[in-house]
Amino acid sequence: MTKRDLVVRISNETGLVQQDVYAIIQKTLDYITEAMVKGENVEFRDFGVFEICTRKPRIGRNPNKPENTVTIPERKVVKFKAGKKMKAAVLVS
């Protein structure tokens, strides 16, 4: 499902104009991104939690030239943990 699919579906179900629905969805995603940049977790009950995790630095190797090692620096990544209802719904399907 793409953002466009979501906009069309919500617009059809609610009767709202697609441009308004798009603006709302985009603003929601912007606020989620803004919170993640600040280092805050974003939690939607029964849906899931987005959180920032830090990956430790590690040593990587080129499979074509295993003698060459590369240091991969520490970095932050976004992690998503599904909520109970989402987990249950996915398991049933």
What pTM value is reported for the model?
A: 0.78
Same domain, residue pair 32 and 48: no
Query: Where residue 50 sits, what CATH number does that domain have?
Result: 4.10.520.10
Same domain, residue pair 66 and 31: no
Task: Convert the pLDDT of each residue in 68-86 to its tens digit.
Answer: 888 999 999 999 999 999 9
Task: Convert the pLDDT of each residue in 6-18 to its tens digit.
Answer: 999 999 999 999 9
Domain count of the chain?
2
Task: Convert the pLDDT of each residue in 28-54 to its tens digit.
Answer: 999 999 999 999 999 999 899 999 999
Domain that holds residue 68: 42-93
Same domain, residue pair 35 and 53: no
Same domain, residue pair 51 and 86: yes
- Print the SS3 string covering 14-83: HCCCHHHHHHHHHHHHHHHHHHHHCCCCEEECCCEEEEEEEECCEEEEECCEEEEEEEECCEEEEEEEEC
Same domain, residue pair 17 and 52: no
Same domain, residue pair 63 and 92: yes
Same domain, residue pair 3 and 47: no
Same domain, residue pair 67 and 91: yes
